[in-house]
Amino acid sequence: MPEIEIDPTTRIEGHHSTTLNVEGGVVTEAKSHMDMFRGMELVVLNRPPSDAPVFTQRVCGVCFTVHRQTALLAIENAAKNAGVFDGIPDTARKMRNLLERMATLWNHAVHMFALVAPDYSDAVADTGLTRLDPMDGAGYTAALEAQRKLLQGFAEFGGKAPHPLTYAPGGMSANPTIEKLQQISDQVEFVSDWLGPTDAVPEVIENVRNDRFDPTLGEGLHDIVSLLFAAKEAGADDFGVGPGRYYCNGIYPDENGEDQIPSGIYVDGELSHPSDEEIKNAITESTAHSWYTDDSGGSPMEESPPKPAPDKEGAYSWGKAPRYNGMNMETGSLARLIVTDRDPFDLRATLGGDPTKSSTLNRLIARAQEALLLRDQIVELLDDIDPNGTVNTGWSDDFSGEGVGLWEASRGALSHWVKIEDGTITNYQIITPTLWNLGPRDDSGTPSIFETAVEGMTVADVENPLNVMRTVRSFDPCLACSVHVESPEASYTEEITPASPGSALTAACDAPIAGEEADDT
């Protein structure tokens, strides 16, 4: 039985590898390895609650805004539960909703063009789609410019990107001036023109089918539809098929506190909309096959912050295995559209064969569909923000309580869990969408969604398991959100060599690692 080791997984964010056992050209077992230690939860311990958003947003340079937002939701939820906080102003709610949509649209553009499109480009797969060729394809480079414009617009309210400065406990710390709103509008208009009008989708589909290209209907839209058709031609509707169970936390609260995309659980063809409390009670984490101690798993609010156990027998990942009522659940754009019963232009029903099917193709279609929905919502929301509105209600770290932030990253369901005692964080947990999708097996041996989707897949060429790679990338993994580097408890010396010739400036430092006391000298 040949064993295939794919290491590293390229064109994703972070460090990941996959081990496949193949028999008769079919994958009989898959193991998803998260190859770095997880530890951001340890960094925020013994700090004031308002530090959590600042530190946890630096989990990742791709998912930066959602971690700040979700950390804020967690500490604000804890303050509400403690009876010392009533909520953020409406203008701040709208600003956060706008920025979160812009960040997700940016992320979708990165995913579709920089990470996934090369798999179906002429350069990689001999498809004739030269516009999608990495680095020099016309569609590839145009998408890079659109991504840049989105981040420029984001920075008008966020202060900078990545790692915005203005999401603050109690609301926002930036005012939505008319000038800033106009700057965002200008950048969004550029991106919107590149993408093309939503109602042009049927015409663009016909153009792609007939090998026509009409830039007035959107260069981006033509490239995205071409990508979806290439994936369909490659058979992506029939590989990477998961169990068809989906989970969404809910996102974008309205003025009444109701999420515009509601929370949802889709299991065995049945859709339910659990409350936040029901979601919190249903989630557990298993460390049976993770390099963590047993007490690092369980209920996120009660389990210990992650304690490494690198020699643990049977473990193969630095990721944990989250479960919803004991079930592995797929999360992401496809889950969000399924729980809201949306299939714009029936693309998943027609191209994907079934709008609820968990396949590599449907994941790609769902991101394309959501990108258009987000663009339209961003344009509408820009006209609804009051430049003179109140943006913050004030904040104090001086309270005790516990809370959970439930939100959605572009990749899917994200949650932060916090305990606070006398203004100090005593416990913190982060459960990311990539843990849901690409984590290891749980206590009962049930594989993760990705492992399930790969097992049973045909591998025609063990030297080039392209469809396995296409499948892992369809989840848009972000491993930095899920795992972090471990440093030994020792000092180190770093020599800094000056860039300018002839300079005599050099430096060396003995830097203490976390857990050591610094030398006063």
Is 495 annotated in a binding site? The answer is no
φ/ψ region of 308 (left if φ > 0, alpha if ψ in -120 to 50, else beta) reads beta
Given a contact cutoff of 8 angstroms between Cβ atoms, the answer to whether 364 and 236 are in contact is: yes
Query: b/e map of 32-64 (b: 16 or more CB within 10 Å)?
Result: bbbbbbbbbbebbeebbbbbbbbbbbebbebbb
Structure tokens belonging to residue 301: 């609010």
Instruction: Report the sign of the C-alpha dihedral through residues 137, 140, 143, 148, in that order.
Output: negative
The crossing angle, in degrees rounded to 10, of helices 219-233 and 201-209 is 60
Is 484 annotated in a binding site? The answer is yes
Q: In what helix (H) or strand (E) does residue 511 lie, and over which residues does it extend?
A: strand 507-511
β-pair partners for 192: none
* Residue 131: φ, ψ to 5°: -65, -25
Q: In what helix (H) or strand (E) does residue 510 lie, and over which residues does it extend?
A: strand 507-511
Residues 6+ apart with CB under 8 A from 281: none
Is 285 annotated in a binding site? The answer is no
User: Distances from the Cα of 50 to the Cαs of 420, 429, 482, in angstroms?
Assistant: 11, 16, 22
Burial class (CB in 10 A: 0-12, 13-18, 19+), 283: buried
Which of 55, 84, 85, 82 has its CA nearest to residue 70?
55
β-pair partners for 330: 246
β-pair partners for 412: 409
Is 60 annotated in a binding site? The answer is yes
Name residue, tokens 């976390």: 514
Structure tokens belonging to residue 109: 């553009």
The crossing angle, in degrees rounded to 10, of helices 466-474 and 360-382 is 30
Question: Residue 54, SS3?
Answer: helix
Question: Residue 196, SS3?
Answer: coil
Is 430 annotated in a binding site? The answer is yes
Cα–Cα distance between 163 and 178 in angstroms, integer? 23
Structure tokens belonging to residue 132: 């999608």
Structure tokens belonging to residue 486: 């471990």
User: Distances from the Cα of 195 to the Cαs of 105, 136, 198, 441, 454, in angstroms?
Assistant: 11, 19, 9, 39, 32
Residue 446 identity: T
* Residue 85: φ, ψ to 5°: -150, 135
Binding-site residue set: 41, 60, 63, 430, 478, 481, 484
Binding-site residue set for Ni(2+): 60, 63, 478
Binding-site residue set for Mg(2+): 41, 430, 484
Binding-site residue set for Fe cation: 63, 481
